Each structure stands twice: as structure tokens, then as C-alpha cells.
Amino acid sequence: MQLPQISLREEQSFGGGKPLVYEATEGASPSGSELADYTGAYESDEIDSVYRIVLDVDKLRLVRLKHEAETLRPAVRDVFTGEIGTVRFARDANGHVSGFVLNAGRIQNFHFTKRAN
């Protein structure tokens, strides 16, 4: 007996507008060595501040001036959430972390580039 397929994708539109697509994804639980790929100093052309991602035992922490360090929780691959909002890491053609995009309330698509060591 074959079991029915469960849809992991759904499209929904409101008021005849462009449909929103929702797809189920598997949650992430990266290992310590995988988390180390995200560590480093990140800069943005839009603000004069450096955001640092550090590894604290088995957790990523965001460190910035005038704020307490905060834990970033993994959501899906390359995406973490915290008090600041959603941090979506980007990778270069070689698969190395090259920056991130921050979405935090009214602040959307705020780009940071990983500083070279």
C-alpha cells in the first residue's frame, strides 16, 4: 500500500495579488565547527559600526557596541534569529560565509560584509 504524498509547498494569494509561496524546510542544528564558519567581523556601508559574530561554546553570539551580546538561534541553514531580528548569512561562490542581511522590524535588507582576516 502506498501512502499519500504530503505537500510541503503551499501557495496563497490575497485579494487577487501575487501569490505567496510557503515551503516547509528542515530546521537547522549546526555543529560547533559549522558555527565557526559564521564567526568574524562584519561591516555595513550604511552605518559606522562593526558587528561581530563570536562562538560561545556551542552558540553564536552577536556582539556590538552599546548593546549586550545576544545569542543567535539557528532557524534553517544560514538563517539565525535573535532579539535583534533575523540574520540571513550569504555565501560566496566557494561556499564561504561572505556577509549577512539583517531584517529587524522596520529595518529590512540591511547588508553587512564579512571583513577579511
- Which three cell numbers mark 9? 509547498
Pair 23, 8: CB distance under 8 Å: yes
C-alpha cell at 100: 549577512
Check residue 57 and give its pLDDT: 87
Mean pLDDT, residues 48-65 = 93
Cell of 89: 548569512
Residues 6, 76, 14, 102: what is their CA dihedral angle, to the nearest 10 degrees? -170
What band does 26 get if pLDDT is binned at 50, 70 and 90?
low
- d(C-alpha 90, C-alpha 86), whole Å: 13
User: At 9, which amino acid appears?
Assistant: R
pLDDT in the model for residue 82: 94
Residue 25 pLDDT: 64
Domain edges within the chain:
28-114
Options 3.90.1640.10, 2.40.128.50, 2.40.50.140, 3.10.450.50; CATH of 28-114: 2.40.128.50
pLDDT at 6 over 50: no
Residues of the chain with pLDDT > 70, as a percent, come to 86
